[in-house]
Amino acid sequence: MKDGMALFSNHLHGLNLPDEPEKLLEGTIMVVNACCAYLSIDGRPLNDFLAMQTYRPTDDADAKYVFTFNVFDKTYARILTPIDCKFLDLADLFGHPWNEFSICGFSDFLVSRIDGNPLSEDEIEDIEKVIADDLRFDYTEEEVDFWTDPDKIEGALYVYIYDVDRDDAEGG
């Protein structure tokens, strides 16, 4: 990249993540590959999703949000989505094996707007609904749950998804 990955550095800085654009590039490639696998399994086309995954998104693109995944501080990934987030399968990504790191899933992620403007209250509610609907398609509340924090990073929504501890769920 001609700019020395400055756009990735700025993105990471804006989300208070380590300035490691190489990790963001490598992780993005990994997560894009995983998303493509899940889209293929579901019999869905890849063209629109792949066309959206550009280094420098334009204002006229269908991409509205950036999901920035933290894969347990080993790598990060930036996935661009349309307003309905239709290309992401968060439940599948939460259980996806990353053989390179001998781990599955991700520790957390942030959702922000591509244009850099803060998320509105309505957008936060809509994104939380998308996350809940996605997770509940594959998992019950007794298996996996999540919480969000719209105040942790200015302008973004912090999302933490976790396995429910059976002892905690049973009150023990």
Contacts of 105 (CB under 8 A, 6+ apart): 71, 93, 94, 95, 96, 161
Please state whether the predicted TM-score (pTM) of the whole model is above 0.85. Answer: yes
| pLDDT one-digit tens code per residue, 88-121 | 999 999 999 999 999 999 999 999 999 999 999 9
Neighbours of 28 (CB within 10 A): 21
| pLDDT one-digit tens code per residue, 9-56 | 999 999 999 999 999 999 999 999 999 999 999 999 999 999 999 999
Query: What CA–CA distance (Å, rounded) separates 133 from 140?
Result: 11
